[in-house]
């Protein structure tokens, strides 16, 4: 089954795994340095980077349902920031 995956796709899968692991290591290091009430909202807002990237690079559009979900995530994150 692995032989059916194109080399370029396999490269992107591996790079995705490496960057995900690096992101988790950075997240845990940030939690050691600062309070979770500051770190977590910043981490949650990283979804905006992913959405912008997919929109501008891959020309993906958000459905109404996904847009509402994104709004709720961002709104909830700003509520967490306000409580700090």
Is the pLDDT at 1 greater than 80? The verdict is: no
User: Cβ contacts of residue 12 below 8 Å, gap of 6+?
Assistant: none
What mean pLDDT comes out for the span 3-14?
89
Task: Identify the residue with better confidence: 45 or 18.
Answer: 18
**Considering the domain boundaries, does residue 2 fall inside one?**
no
Is the pLDDT at 11 greater than 90? The verdict is: yes
Going by C-alpha positions, the residue among 48, 64, 50, 41 that lies closest to residue 20 is 50
In this prediction, residue 84 carries a pLDDT of 62
**Considering the domain boundaries, does residue 1 fall inside one?**
no
**pLDDT tens digits, 28-78:** 999 999 888 888 888 888 899 999 999 999 999 999 999 999 999 999 988
**Considering the domain boundaries, does residue 3 fall inside one?**
no
**Considering the domain boundaries, does residue 61 fall inside one?**
yes
Q: What is the total count of domains within the chain?
A: 1
Domain boundaries, position 58: 8-83
**Considering the domain boundaries, does residue 67 fall inside one?**
yes
**Considering the domain boundaries, does residue 76 fall inside one?**
yes
Distance CA 41, CA 68 (A): 19
**Considering the domain boundaries, does residue 52 fall inside one?**
yes
């Amino acid at each position: 089954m692995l032989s059916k995956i194109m080399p370029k796709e396999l490269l992107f899968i591996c790079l995705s795994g490496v960057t995900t692991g690096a992101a988790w290591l950075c997240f845990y290091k940030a939690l050691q340095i600062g309070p979770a009430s500051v770190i977590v909202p910043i981490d949650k807002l990283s979804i905006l980077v992913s959405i912008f990237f997919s929109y501008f690079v891959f020309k993906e559009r958000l459905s109404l349902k996904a847009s509402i979900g994104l709004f709720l995530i961002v709104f909830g994150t700003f509520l967490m920031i306000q409580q700090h």
